[in-house]
Amino acid sequence: MKYLIVGIGNVGEAYVHTRHNIGFDVVDALAARHGWVFQSSRYADRAEGSWKGKRLILLKPTTYVNLSGKAVKYWMDKEKIPLAHLLVVVDDIALPLDTVRLRPGGSDGGHNGLKHIQETLGTQQFARLRFGIGQDYPKGHQVEYVLGKWKPEEEEMVQKKIMLCVDILESFVSRGIEATMTDFNARKVKLGNGTSS
């Protein structure tokens, strides 16, 4: 029982902890919770370990966001991962900052990383965890916003959401996507006392 959990982001110091790299931050947090260590590998930094009888392979593609599918397809083929055991973590400007959404498939929503994965795999039918980053930017400044760092006042919310995402990933692996969507998709992240439904 192998699972491939992919965080989308760009490599390089300039992109660390930016909104567009939240996928990296989420899989980093999952690895840290279990003591798994990322190592440089083909098309990606990769960590793996066993949890509840399942084998988890965590991936941070080093192909840059727009070519994310290259790493995903390579490791799915190499490790013989079924499509139902793939989950991709991405940022989403269409969702507000207090929201995360797990989906079993769907459009790329304008996200170039998701778009390339879908083109490379030839399907939209794989799980994706969308991390809302909001749309708090002036017209014409989307690129700068997405590639920008979190504001200081956003940090607490972002950290809580990252830990919520780690719980969601564990639930996806242990309980499946339907139960996980039912339990987590209605939640909003609140400052102070955690989450509420």
- Residue 190, pLDDT above cutoff 90: no
Measured torsion, CA atoms of residues 101, 94, 60, 54, in degrees rounded to the nearest 10: 10
Measured torsion, CA atoms of residues 88, 164, 21, 63, in degrees rounded to the nearest 10: -30
Residue 195 confidence (pLDDT): 54
Could you confirm whether 20 is annotated as catalytic? yes
Taking residues 90-115, report their average pLDDT: 92
Cα 31 to Cα 37: distance, rounded to the nearest angstrom: 7
- The total number of structural domains in the chain stands at 1
Could you tell me the residue range of the domain that residue 64 belongs to?
A: 2-196
Q: For 29-75, how does the pLDDT look when each residue is reduced to its tens digit (9 = 90+)?
A: 999 999 999 999 999 999 999 999 999 999 999 998 999 999 999 99
What does the DSSP 8-state code read for residue 64? Answer: -
Q: Please give the model's pTM, rounded to 2 decimal places.
A: 0.94
CB–CB of 70/76 below 8 Å?
no
Q: How many of the other CB atoms lie within 10 Å of CB of 158? A: 18
H helix or E strand, kind and range, residue 171: helix 155-175
Which CATH number do you get for residue 141? 3.40.50.1470
pLDDT tier, 196 (very low <50, low <70, confident <90, very high otherwise): low
pLDDT tier, 151 (very low <50, low <70, confident <90, very high otherwise): very high
Catalytic, out of 17, 20, 111, 116: 20
- What six digits make up the tokens of 53? 């009888």
